[in-house]
Amino acid sequence: DAGITQSPRHKVTETGTPVTLRCHQTENHRYMYWYRQDPGHGLRLIHYSYGVKDTDKGEVSDGYSVSRSKTEDFLLTLESATSSQTSVYFCAISESMRGVGEQYFGPGTRLTVT
């Protein structure tokens, strides 16, 4: 995951506050994804992007919004954080139209909502 960074890596926030997580890539890949990982649930897709300003919802998008104003950055925003959004968040990238669309993951952000 040398070409993908996530910030912050750890965050503790209070219920009701807005939170923005950032994913930055240096690979110039077209596709970017946000997942959350919780015990017993594996990874679940929140939102994804297929180009600058082009985004769509995933399986668990309620309570989350995203933005992509540049190829290299994909932001995930929790407008009003809740305790159920305590999780580990992973960003992934893919040059989907080449090969089989394999995804590569960033290091993750551990978010705790108190």
Q: Tell me the CA end-to-end span of the chain in Å, nearest whole number.
A: 30
User: Is 9 a residue that touches other proteins (CB under 8 A)?
Assistant: no
Q: For other proteins, how many residues bind (rule: CB under 8 A)?
A: 28
User: Is 70 a residue that touches other proteins (CB under 8 A)?
Assistant: no
Among 36, 32, 40, which residue's Cα sits nearest to residue 4?
32
- Largest Cα separation within the chain, whole Å, is 42
Compare residues 14 and 53 and give the one whose CB is closer to other proteins.
Answer: 53
Token representation of residue 28: 């110039």
Give the footprint of other proteins on this chain (CB under 8 A).
1, 31, 33, 35, 40-45, 48, 50, 56, 58-59, 90, 92, 94, 96, 100-108
